[in-house]
Structure 1
């Protein structure tokens, strides 16, 4: 099971290390937009939308990696005081009762919108913007898939810990 979890981690490691560069590009692009607007008095809608697309990509595609490196939001009031097996039990419950159903509902509810966007190759959000809103909407199912894959990898490790094994550590 640990080998399978490691193989599942590989996808989010690749996506996470790639997406982190999007954050740098986003900051540089935002700097250029501000410079163009306030120094030269010009503005381009497609540049502003580029920041929006990059922002969406960083958060939606980076969610699985965030779970992988255990940097997601967690309420640690009781969790931090638990033993390794206790934390594993809480995590198993969280993966099965909350993560998987929530991501499943999001995927199911968003699919018609994403499908329609692809069917018509939905255009820009604003006039003069990037003519690819269908790509932006595609981040939603990608988010769901990456988070479910990482959730499964974490679940496998937690099950190993529950059975008394070490479970290994997620790669970062």
Structure 2
């Protein structure tokens, strides 16, 4: 199970990397449009999901936001699972692995899980409100803003799931003094 989750995290992080690479192409297209003095790249006869009836400079800007938002919100949980996040702790290096694990377990239980549990419902309502009201860009940007806003509850849910799993594994390790092998 541990190995499967680790591989899944790798796939998600690769997807996030592709999103960041796509941002470079979208920025390039926007720069070219700006240099050519064009505000609209393509107009469609039938509106398309997310893009609406045309691809404009503003919709490219919205696409940048969408790609960046999903790259960041989807990357948070795998980075936490793979223990690649930044830790700033003066005492961390001096403590035994057992005490470091206990401190991390306490931090996740006292701060991490309660914070993300409290954040989950407002994040969901934030995206839901955009979907229900049909929120759209007012300046010719993306047609479906809820797609961008949905990254928040998705990211929070994934991060919360990873935190709960880490807490369960850490509690077991700390209580038994054993390590879980992939």
Q: Deviation per CA, 1:71-112: give whole Å up to 9, x if none.
A: 223212111222111121111112111111111111122232
Deviation of the 1:8 alpha carbon: 5.0
Computed over aligned residues only, the root mean square deviation of the Cα atoms, in angstroms, reads 2.0
| Residues 1:133 and 2:130 are matched in the alignment | no
Whole-angstrom distance in 2 between the partners of 1:97 and 1:122: 36
2:85 is matched with which residue: 72, 78, 85? Answer: 72
Deviation of the 1:6 alpha carbon: 4.9
- In the TM superposition, 1:95-106 aligns within 5 A as 95-106=108-119
Given the superposition, is the C-alpha separation of residues 148 and 7 from structure 1 closer, same or farther in structure 2, using an over 3 Å criterion?
Answer: farther
Deviation of the 1:61 alpha carbon: 1.2
The structure whose residues are more often helix, as a share, is 1
Q: Deviation per CA, 1:92-151: give whole Å up to 9, x if none.
A: 112111111111111122232222222123222x42111111111111110111101211
Q: Secondary structure at 2:150's aligned position in 1? A: helix
- In the superposition, the TM-score normalised over structure 1's length comes to 0.84
The structure whose residues are more often strand, as a share, is 2
Asked which structure has the greater RCO (Cα within 8 Å, sep 6+), the reply is 1
2:19 is matched with which residue: 15, 22, 47? Answer: 22
Equivalent pairs counted in the alignment come to 164
| Residues 1:41 and 2:8 are matched in the alignment | no
Given the superposition, is the C-alpha separation of residues 167 and 87 from structure 1 closer, same or farther in structure 2, using an over 3 Å criterion?
Answer: farther
1:88 corresponding residue in structure 2: 101
1:143 corresponding residue in structure 2: 155
Deviation of the 1:157 alpha carbon: 2.8
Given the superposition, is the C-alpha separation of residues 160 and 17 from structure 1 closer, same or farther in structure 2, using an over 3 Å criterion?
Answer: farther
Whole-angstrom distance in 1 between the partners of 2:4 and 2:171: 16
Give the conservation status (yes or no) of the 8 Å contact 2:124–2:150: no
1:157 corresponding residue in structure 2: 169
Given the superposition, is the C-alpha separation of residues 61 and 8 from structure 1 closer, same or farther in structure 2, using an over 3 Å criterion?
Answer: same
Unaligned 5+ segments in structure 2 are 40-56
Deviation of the 1:168 alpha carbon: 3.6
Give the conservation status (yes or no) of the 8 Å contact 1:15–1:61: yes
Larger radius of gyration: 2
